[in-house]
Structure 1
């Protein structure tokens, strides 16, 4: 089996159309609309992972101002069932700062989560907003990365919160010890995102939500040269098929050592797996 670690995924819970209506058109455009209403349990998800050659899936909880989509406990059902295959990524209710810090601590200490992820467009708050800052301190204390989304917003909502500069750049300046994994490449600000990752030792990029066939040329150059230790493989499953993503990684013709870092080495180091 391949040793690929997928840095950005979420369960196919069968309730996405109802709880995340904004993403329905993304699934339709990606050819995965049938998964909006399908619930895949741990065993069915692992079958897809095995077919694709993915060893570990980093499954994230989702919370939005209107309520929870997938709770941290929902994610723990997967990680407890198959701890060698699923890695929990916690989230919190950003509108309740003290409760959010306590929930993050619980998710790490009691549920075994290995990172925090917050998607700024859901909250209409960029990552340099004051409500994130207590969570950054807690991430550093817990020695876990903060994962977020960069680039335009696929759903029909404003994209401004996804700009790497100034928002993520300011966070990295304020918290140089915080490991930050910026998901979704950063397009159309890919050059900005590469610049921020080059500038800050603890800022990384994951490729989720883009099929490898469509990775921007400058990202491919970065990951094959001075950024080989900075780019992590991600799919955004179930929006993108694990098998399609992995097959297209092979088509990129990466040098063996570059592919190894991209598919699993960087994630293993950044997330402490």
Structure 2
């Protein structure tokens, strides 16, 4: 398979998910990938997985939660420094420390080379229209990077309310029309809300992470093939879902060549300015 895909949502396989993210164990089990939970992959081994699947670039995200760091921005930078053409850093911050968070975001972008900010609202039990996010949105605009977040229900056993596209992302996009927003995990069971918000706002995009392509909702596929073909980008949520399995199922979607190129590569390259 020819290299070319950009995976918009992934994490390092550091072998510590069970210890640091116990809520996520259930998600791996329900995905049939519990055997991957304890796997630790070096940058070289991760690139080998990408090559096998036909993934050109992996957007690796740092994670922070109220209890502490899961993957630090410097840990992500170890990957991007080792293979700058293959890994793209996605920063995160400690949302509970707003001033330090803005400083850390600036450091992660200007010193470590990160290309986006991601905050997962269910980790903090705070929706993205909460006041603690707003200084970070201003900084994202100043740094010209997208803000990435999670939409839809939570696979882990945590409250899902923070993942509603309406009203939360709708309000953020109204307040910050210059902020590029990438909403990961499709938005199910509010898929129609997510499509509606992406259609309404020029600055909102969807990534398909955490869902195998054969389970993409029919309305999302219709959106991708028609008026939303510039709005949806491929994501895996690696290591939850294996890259080769995701890419093999993308090939089964019967997308027109131009739509497939935008979905697998073009939209992410444009939005993240890669």
Same fold (TM over 0.5): yes
Query: Which TM-score tier does this pair reach, normalised by the shorter chain?
Result: over 0.9
Question: Any idea what the Cα deviations from partners look like across 1:116-170, whole Å, max 9, x if unmatched?
Answer: 0000000000000000000000000000000000000110111000000000000
* Distance in structure 2 (CA, Å) of the matches to 1:31 and 1:241: 11
When normalised by structure 1's length, the TM-score is 0.99
Per-residue CA distance 1:85-118 (angstroms, 9 max, x = gap): 0000000000000000000000000000000000
Structure 2: unaligned runs, 5 residues or longer: none
SS in 1 for 2:107: helix
User: Is the partner of 1:7 in helix, strand or coil?
Assistant: strand
What residue is the counterpart of 1:251 in the other structure? Answer: 252
User: CA deviation digits over 1:17-67, x for unaligned, max 9?
Assistant: 000000001111212212211210101101110000000000000000000
Tell me what 2:198 maps to. Answer: 197
- Structure 2 distance, partners of 1:41, 1:193, is 35
Aligned residues: 273
RMSD over aligned Cα atoms: 0.5
**2:210 alignment partner in structure 1:** 209
Give the aligned partner of residue 135 of structure 2: 134
Q: Tell me the secondary structure at the aligned position of residue 8 of structure 1.
A: strand
The 10-residue stretch of structure 1 (23-32 or 252-261) with the greater mean CA deviation from structure 2: 23-32
Quote the Cα distance in structure 2 between the aligned partners of 1:128 and 1:174: 9
Shift of 1:264: 0.2
Q: Which string of whole-angstrom CA distances, capped at 9 and with x for unpartnered residues, describes residues 159-216 of structure 1?
A: 0000000000000000000000000000000000000000000100000000000000
Matched, 1:8 2:9: yes
Q: Distance in 2 between matches of 1:32 and 1:52?
A: 17
Name the counterpart of 1:221: 222
Alignment of 1:1-273 (within 5 A): 1-273=2-274
Alpha-carbon distance in structure 2 between the residues aligned to 1:34 and 1:78: 23
Query: Secondary structure, in 3 states, of the residue corresponding to 1:88?
Result: strand
Which ranges in structure 1 are unaligned for 5 or more consecutive residues?
Answer: none
Q: Secondary structure at the match of 1:182?
A: strand
